[in-house]
Amino acid sequence: MAEYSRLASGTVVSTGVQTAVALPFIPDFIEISNPTRAAAASGVTRAWWGTNMGQGAAFLTTTGAGPADGTSFVTSATGTGFTTIQAGLALQYGPTFLLGASGGIAKTSGTLLTVTTTANHGLTTGNWVTFSNLYQTSTTGMQQIAGIPFMVTVTGATTFTIPWVGNSSNLTAITTGGLNTLASFKKILYPVLYAPGVAFPWSIATGTTTTITTTAPHNFKVGQQVGFRIPAPYGMTQINELPNVSIPGSPKYYYVTSVTNSTTFVVNCDSTSFTAFSVNNTFLSFPGLQFAQVVAVGDVNTGGYPYTGAALYPSPTVFNGFTSSTSTGVSTINGPAIQGAYFNATFQGFVIGSAVSGTAADTIYWRAYMHDINYL
């Protein structure tokens, strides 16, 4: 091993699409093997990449399919091979993606909006996006949701859904024609650089405890202390940090008592007498409209993450746009940390693209290298 070379190896469970691996360096050579596909005699069993091949490229070996010699090449233009990543403050958003002439947003149900694009959107379930220019006419559309981060569920090459009260009377579907030629979204490349942070609720259910559902992963833990900032147009201002009628001047916070999944949690707030929460704001209210927010302000935890038989001090996990799971987050390279504590969730490493990641739940062995010198 030379003076500045870096080597790393490990295993990762494939998501079936883009699968991220966090490292303490940016590799210039990556190789993987997939024993699950080898045992099944179907699919990609081995793949490798060097930085000179370009981002998104890969050589791969297949069994049971592909060319006669079992090898093929994925070009960087295709972009479904290997990609190195560095989550930092630069390049936080992907390019603007227009919904296009035949694209739009449909009011699917009480819990979903369905987005259709003219060209293939290239997203995978778990990615985060934000929308802009959602005008159908000068006074109608869905501009009320513009600027909010959403986690997507991909339903097809040109379709995906986002969580929202899709039957809201003040939302007008974005359809072909009208002023929707600039309706667009951007992928949020690295949505969680620090955690926990701010979450945006689209549903708050009242009761002796209060259940909150957010548009994208909240990354809160049991024992998390949170504060609410609900503008008047959304109702339920009684849950806000201030004013506190019981102790004037003292913020009113609540504790997370259970976490249902990455976008739903429960707090110890008796909201039975509160005004109902509603996202059904008028289109014309968008200028100056502030979004409802839940903010992490502290925690009462004292220990690290539970020992599960693997690492004694495992790194914290986050839902950061690189996993389709709503129950298991991505391990960061930082840690250990007290659950619920504020921590640096930035990371670097590489993504195993859909052309080489096999199928969901496959076990992938990987090795990554950073060499002293790379001759172009």
Question: What's the mean pLDDT when you consider all of the chain?
Answer: 88
Tokens of 58: 């890969």
Contact 61, 45 (CB under 8 A): yes
For residues 216 and 299, give the distance between their C-alpha atoms in angstroms, rounded to a whole number: 21
Predicted pLDDT of residue 65: 55
Contacts of 69 (CB under 8 A, 6+ apart): none
Place of tokens 């969580």: 163
Torsion of CA 249, 223, 189, 336, to 10 degrees: 120
- pLDDT beyond 80 at 313: no
How large is the average pLDDT for residues 213-227? 95
For residues 169 and 215, give the distance between their C-alpha atoms in angstroms, rounded to a whole number: 19
Percent of the chain with pLDDT over 70: 94
Contact 161, 215 (CB under 8 A): no
For residues 209 and 195, give the distance between their C-alpha atoms in angstroms, rounded to a whole number: 24
Predicted pLDDT of residue 265: 98
* Better pLDDT: 260 or 355: 260
| Reported pTM | 0.87
3-state secondary structure of 233: helix
What domains does the chain contain, in order, with CATH numbers?
A: 6-87+347-370 (no CATH), 97-188 (2.40.30.20), 194-299 (2.40.30.180)
3-state secondary structure of 166: coil
Rounded to the nearest 5 percent, the helix, strand and coil shares of the chain are 5, 35, 60
Predicted pLDDT of residue 275: 96
- Residue 38 DSSP class: H
Task: Please count the residues of the chain.
Answer: 376
